[in-house]
A and B are shown apart, each in its own frame.
Chain A
Amino acid sequence: MPAINLSKAARDQSHAPSQASRVFDLAEMSLRELNQALHNLTAGSNETAWEVLNPKGSHSVAVGVGQPVTIEVRGSVGYYCAGMNAGSTITVHGSAGPGVGENMMSGSIIVKGDASQYAGATGRGGLLVIEGNASSRCGISMKGIDIVVHGNIGHMSAFMAQSGNLVVLGDAGDALGDSIYEARLFVRGKVGSLGADCIAKEMRPEHLELLQSLLDRAGVTGVEPTEFKRYGSARTLYNFNIDNADAY
């Protein structure tokens, strides 16, 4: 299934900074200065709007932010952008390298382009929206995060996913949800294959309602929850049984 608005979003990298924002140009200032300034924010600070220019693939952009500010990153980022985000809204106007939003606690991350491996890994809360495609291991070991991918996701996504929701408007690669625990997976397109202990499940009214709310939060329109299938754990590997050894 084709990604939605991918090519336009991926090119959306060249905004001029707006007037009200505090602007950090990584061509002139260091990553350390940026993250320290973000960590120095205290509750109730007036500096609620930030812009980061010229990230040029830098790693660890805006990691460990703990206040409800908005951060517009104008360009593509390297590894672990917005890692451990707790409460802020971070938009990447470009693509993101591996581990975007890893271990997010709360808040929102929007990637306008594509995301590399491990997007949202071990995330515990908040919302990660990827408007393009996500590579392999999207949502690996997720622990409560909600992830919405407009495009496709790669293989081994939601591996050992413990909790939270992964919504994929496009297709999923092989071994989806391998060794999954209690996370819920909703895929609109094709699934390459299901991993060990992951099965298709009935879409009950409460799931349709949940999915609609996830689509609404992610700003997805023109898509109905009934177009998705739900996947989750068969729970046959929860307690060891030698006759399941082939599945391990």
Chain B
Amino acid sequence: MTYRNPPTTPRRSATFDDYTLSEIRRAAATGIYDIRGGGAKRKLPHFDDLLVLGASISRYPLEGYRERCDTNVVLGSRHAKKPIELKIPITIAGMSFGSLSGPAKEALGRGATLAGTSTTTGDGGMTEEERGHSKTLVYQYLPSRYGMNPRDLRRADAIEVVVGQGAKPGGGGMLLGQKISDRVAEMRTLPKGIDQRSASRHPDWTGPDDLEIKILELREITDWEKPIYVKVGGARPYYDTALAVKAGADVVVVDGMQGGTAATQEVFIENVGQPTLACIRPAVQALQDLGMHRKVQLIVSGGIRNGADVAKALALGVDAVSIGTAALVALGDNDPRWEAEYNELGTTAGAYDDWHEGRDPAGITTQDPELMKRVDPIAAGRRLANYLKVMTLEAQTIARACGKNSLHNLEPEDLVALTIEAAAMAGVPLAGTNWIPGKNGF
């Protein structure tokens, strides 16, 4: 019997992992960067890395179901004659008609209205479906200005000047030819079937001084009635928030890198911007430094999933959160009932993100007339409302446990962090210590 040296186990590279290898092969074969929808999928410090302390001898809790815990929030009280009041501090983020089907937009409006909150247009103008079914509708003012007109500005309840979004701070919109149907083409004044790449900068202003003048124009056109939001991607949250306040915003929206997009380059989504958790404290700090915390409201979005995320975000000082991806899931996105069709598309339920291709089995991110029939706007709206209400109840449960009679009374002192990274980002102590990295010289 001959002796053979023991072989080593085949070892895969951590750097060149399976996904990376597949991406290199795909790029080499197709000659185009990978485009997809959604937000950052990599693991990032997030709200899961924070814990809520709850009551103890020094703090007494409120009775669940019996003692009040307010959830309402007023947005736009700084300058607008008609600020909006929402029953819950969870809003629906901007998603365009074009990226989403008409029934999906209607369902978002229905669900938000049932739950007492607002929904938001997107990079495609305002549709009758969403205006008609949304009690409170925020109208986005985007670089492309697709569908922009003074009538819709005036029938909006608030205006959101979009400077950037978390999935792609510094990137413009993208809607590929498969989804430029006749109706979408007409609303966007584009030829049918082209690949639409919208501008990344606004066409008629650059920088904070111009923004101030632009906001003045929007206020003058709407007779100072509408709250004006400024939305930024999570890039430089301290300065972006401060400059938005300086420019006259009533509300600042900061969208972290987990925030979704209808379509952009994978390399952009995963490598540009900051995690939501890292954006909150700098934005709150900017408001506090300017004496504007709670006067200019702060909305944060990007990876909000449940009432715990809501409670933790509010404890860190935000006034409301916004959801996009989670709302689509509530409508039926990535539902396992369509698994066979996801498989045909080379993916699986839960991982489907080729929203730009317009072949969404769930009928949400498509303009295909047959597929979009799969969304029943009434039933899907009901599911969204249920989900929003559950999130609110969850957040109230946590707030009452902390002895707070309003979600907005949650505070950083109610939180600890499980990791050093999260402690540093959130500015709360590492669990079991009184150490906040970066504070007091450490």
Residues of A at under 8 Å CB distance from B? 31-32, 35-36, 39, 59-60, 63-64, 66, 78-80, 83-84, 86, 98-99, 102-103, 105, 117-118, 121-122, 124, 137, 140-141, 143-144, 159-160, 162-163, 181-182, 238-240, 242-243
Q: Are B190 and A32 in contact (CB under 8 A)?
A: no
CB under 8 Å from chain A, chain B span 196-220? 199, 203-205, 210, 213-214, 216-217, 220
Count B interface residues, CB 8 Å: 30
CB under 8 Å from chain A, chain B span 177-231? 177, 188-191, 193-195, 199, 203-205, 210, 213-214, 216-217, 220-224
Q: Are B149 and A137 in contact (CB under 8 A)?
A: no
Q: How far is the CA of A159 from the CA of B200 in the complex (A)?
A: 13
Residue of A nearest to B198 (CB): A160
**Any A CB within 8 A of the CB of B10:** no
User: Which residues does chain B contribute within 8 Å of A243, judged by CB atoms?
Assistant: 31
Q: Are A162 and B189 in contact (CB under 8 A)?
A: yes
Option from A63, A137, A163, A240 in Cβ contact (under 8 Å) with B221: A63
Q: Are A124 and B204 in contact (CB under 8 A)?
A: no
Q: How far is the CA of A143 from the CA of B144 in the complex (A)?
A: 10
Residues of B at under 8 Å CB distance from A? 31-32, 144-145, 148-150, 153, 177, 188-191, 193-195, 199, 203-205, 210, 213-214, 216-217, 220-224
**B189, B190, B210, B222: most-surrounded residue (chain A CB, <10 A):** B189
Q: Tell me the minimal C-beta distance from B63 to chain A in angstroms.
A: 50
Q: Are A79 and B213 in contact (CB under 8 A)?
A: yes
User: Which residues does chain A contribute within 8 Å of B193, judged by CB atoms?
Assistant: 239
* Further contacts, 5 of them, CB under 8 A, given A79-B217, A141-B199: A64-B153, A79-B210, A84-B149, A105-B150, A141-B203
Q: How far is the CA of A223 from the CA of B230 in the complex (A)?
A: 46
Q: How far is the CA of A117 from the CA of B220 in the complex (A)?
A: 21
User: Which residues does chain A contribute within 8 Å of B32, judged by CB atoms?
Assistant: 240, 242
**B32, B203, B205: most-surrounded residue (chain A CB, <10 A):** B203
Q: How far is the CA of A244 from the CA of B32 in the complex (A)?
A: 11
Q: Are A118 and B217 in contact (CB under 8 A)?
A: no
Q: Are B204 and A122 in contact (CB under 8 A)?
A: yes
Q: Are A181 and B191 in contact (CB under 8 A)?
A: yes
User: Which residues does chain B contribute within 8 Å of A35, judged by CB atoms?
Assistant: 220-221, 223
CB within 8 Å for A144 and B204 given contacts A84-B149, A242-B31: no
Q: Tell me the minimal C-beta distance from B153 to chain A in angstroms.
A: 8
Q: How far is the CA of A179 from the CA of B203 in the complex (A)?
A: 14
Q: How far is the CA of A144 from the CA of B144 in the complex (A)?
A: 14
Residue of B nearest to A31 (CB): B220
Q: Are B199 and A39 in contact (CB under 8 A)?
A: no
User: Which residues does chain B contribute within 8 Å of A181, judged by CB atoms?
Assistant: 190-191, 194
Residue of B nearest to A78 (CB): B213
Residue of B nearest to A240 (CB): B195
User: Which residues does chain A contribute within 8 Å of B199, judged by CB atoms?
Assistant: 141, 159-160
Q: Are A64 and B220 in contact (CB under 8 A)?
A: yes
Option from B148, B190, B195, B222 in Cβ contact (under 8 Å) with A103: B148
Q: How far is the CA of A63 from the CA of B224 in the complex (A)?
A: 13
Q: Are A80 and B204 in contact (CB under 8 A)?
A: yes
Q: Are A162 and B213 in contact (CB under 8 A)?
A: no
Q: Are B216 and A103 in contact (CB under 8 A)?
A: no
Q: Tell me the minimal C-beta distance from B264 to chain A in angstroms.
A: 13
User: Which residues does chain B contribute within 8 Å of A242, judged by CB atoms?
Assistant: 31-32
**A36, A86, A103, A160: most-surrounded residue (chain B CB, <10 A):** A103
Give 6 closest A-B pairs by Cβ, nearest first.
A64-B221, A242-B31, A99-B204, A118-B204, A238-B194, A122-B145
Q: Tell me the minimal C-beta distance from A78 to chain B in angstroms.
A: 7
Q: Are B213 and A59 in contact (CB under 8 A)?
A: yes
Q: Tell me the minimal C-beta distance from B27 to chain A in angstroms.
A: 10
Q: How far is the CA of A103 from the CA of B142 in the complex (A)?
A: 12
User: Which residues does chain B contribute within 8 Å of A78, judged by CB atoms?
Assistant: 213
Q: Tell me the minimal C-beta distance from B188 to chain A in angstroms.
A: 8
User: Which residues does chain B contribute within 8 Å of A137, judged by CB atoms?
Assistant: 203
User: Which residues does chain B contribute within 8 Å of A39, judged by CB atoms?
Assistant: 223
Option from A80, A105, A122, A140 in Cβ contact (under 8 Å) with B214: A80
Q: Are A239 and B195 in contact (CB under 8 A)?
A: yes
Q: Are A163 and B203 in contact (CB under 8 A)?
A: no
Q: How far is the CA of A12 from the CA of B214 in the complex (A)?
A: 28
Q: Tell me the minimal C-beta distance from A220 to chain B in angstroms.
A: 26
Interface pairs (8), CB distance under 8 Å: A59-B217, A79-B210, A84-B221, A98-B204, A121-B203, A141-B145, A240-B32, A240-B195
Q: Are A64 and B222 in contact (CB under 8 A)?
A: yes
Q: Are B221 and A99 in contact (CB under 8 A)?
A: no
CB within 8 Å for A162 and B190 given contacts A121-B203, A124-B149, A239-B195: yes
